[in-house]
């Protein structure tokens, strides 16, 4: 069977089920494991699927955006592990930017640093920070119905008033060529501006975001470090060579240890 035929069958199976197992593909295609892995690698390079441990899954549509409630219920433990590790990077007396999003919201209970000042475009984040008696500036603008993030020209103007020691920003996709991406152009603009105003930027993302590409680019891989729950079993070395990646261990206290390139 030709490679094109095998790959077409793989895509057909993904159309029927959002996840396919490697061993099932080996059996159905009557091909070796190494051949099927190569097919999956080629299809992922064309952004037609995402390789996962033991198989492959469908990519999320680039312009699709889940609402805040749906995001909150996904990958809960992974987000908590990432949030704990990210919060540990905040030091006494720092001014930080906290992007709207579920993982950054999870960071707030873990903030231990004293005399911290936070700027955020997340109204829910502002409420939680106020409860924690953390000084918080909530930027103005239009609040999105889906993610509840404050965006738009007014938000960008507000951001220009500040400078940050560190920024913690969420993403929908991490890709070796396309960098960090998100579905909404206006939200991407706010994230990009916050990154440019910060001395150090961390992108906080669970491992499901690797090899995903959304509609709008925020900034390049080399412009931020990544804090994630674990390294995907299959990841392009080009990503590791262009940005620092720090992993949290969900089974123990997170340690801020870089992945070796």
Paired residues of 98 in beta bridges = 120, 168
**For 179-193, how does the pLDDT look when each residue is reduced to its tens digit (9 = 90+)?**
999 999 999 999 999
* Spatial CA neighbour of 226 closest among 242, 237, 250: 242
Q: What span, in angstroms and rounded, lies between the C-alpha atoms of 36 and 10?
A: 9
**For 59-69, how does the pLDDT look when each residue is reduced to its tens digit (9 = 90+)?**
666 545 555 55
Residue 252: the pLDDT is: 43
Residue 72: the pLDDT is: 52
For residue 186, what are the contacts with CB-CB under 8 A and spacing of at least 6?
Answer: 142, 151, 152
Cβ atoms of residues 103 and 71 within 8 Å: no
Q: What span, in angstroms and rounded, lies between the C-alpha atoms of 19 and 32?
A: 20
Q: What span, in angstroms and rounded, lies between the C-alpha atoms of 167 and 258?
A: 18
pLDDT-above-70 percentage for the chain? 85
Transcribe the chain into DSSP letters.
--HHHHHHHHHHHHHH-SEEEHHHHHHHHT--HHHHHHHHHHHHHTTS-EEETTEEEPPPPTT----HHHHHTSSHHHHHHHHHHHHTT--TT-EEEE-SSHHHHHHGGG---SS-EEEES-HHHHHHHHHTT-EEEEPPSEEPTTT--EESHHHHHHHTT--EEEEEEE-SEEETTTEEEES-HHHHHHHHHHHHTEEEEEEE--GGGBT---SEEEE-GGGSEEEESS--SS--HHHHHHS-EEE--TTS----EEPP-
Q: What span, in angstroms and rounded, lies between the C-alpha atoms of 17 and 36?
A: 18
Domains of the chain: 3-57 (1.10.10.10), 68-258 (3.40.50.1360)
Residue at token pair 């960090």: 180
Higher pLDDT, 161 or 2: 161
**For 134-177, how does the pLDDT look when each residue is reduced to its tens digit (9 = 90+)?**
999 999 999 998 889 999 999 999 999 999 999 999 999 998 88
Residue at token pair 């609402």: 67
Q: What is the pTM of this model?
A: 0.74
Q: What span, in angstroms and rounded, lies between the C-alpha atoms of 165 and 160?
A: 14
Return the half-sphere exposure (C-beta side, CA atoms, 13 A cut-off) of residue 112.
8
Q: What span, in angstroms and rounded, lies between the C-alpha atoms of 91 and 59?
A: 37
The arrangement of strands across the sheet holding 19-21 comes to 19-21, 55-57, 50-52
């Amino acid at each position: 069977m030709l490679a094109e035929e095998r790959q077409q069958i793989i895509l057909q199976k993904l159309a029927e089920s959002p996840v396919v197992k490697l061993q099932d593909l080996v059996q159905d295609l009557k091909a070796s494991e190494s051949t099927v892995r190569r097919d999956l690698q080629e299809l992922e390079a064309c952004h037609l699927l995402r390789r996962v441990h033991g198989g492959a899954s469908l990519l999320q549509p680039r312009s699709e955006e889940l609402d805040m409630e749906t995001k909150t219920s996904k990958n809960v433990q992974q987000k908590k592990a990432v949030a704990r590790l990210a919060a540990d990077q905040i030091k006494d007396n720092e001014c930080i930017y906290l992007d709207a999003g579920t993982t950054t919201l999870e960071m707030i209970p873990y903030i231990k640093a004293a005399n911290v000042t936070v700027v955020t475009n997340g109204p829910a984040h502002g409420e939680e920070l106020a409860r924690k008696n953390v000084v918080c500036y909530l930027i103005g603008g239009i609040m999105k119905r889906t993610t509840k993030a404050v965006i738009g020209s007014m938000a960008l103007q507000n951001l220009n008033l500040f400078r940050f020691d560190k920024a913690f920003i969420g993403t929908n996709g991490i890709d070796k060529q396309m960098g960090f991406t998100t579905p909404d152009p206006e939200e991407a603009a706010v994230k990009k501006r916050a990154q440019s105003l910060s001395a150090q930027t961390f992108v906080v993302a669970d491992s499901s975001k690797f090899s995903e590409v959304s509609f709008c680019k925020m900034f390049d891989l080399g412009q931020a470090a990544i804090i994630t729950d674990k390294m995907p079993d299959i990841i392009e070395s080009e990503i590791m060579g262009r940005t620092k990646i720090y992993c949290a261990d969900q089974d123990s206290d997170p340690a801020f240890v870089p992945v070796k390139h």
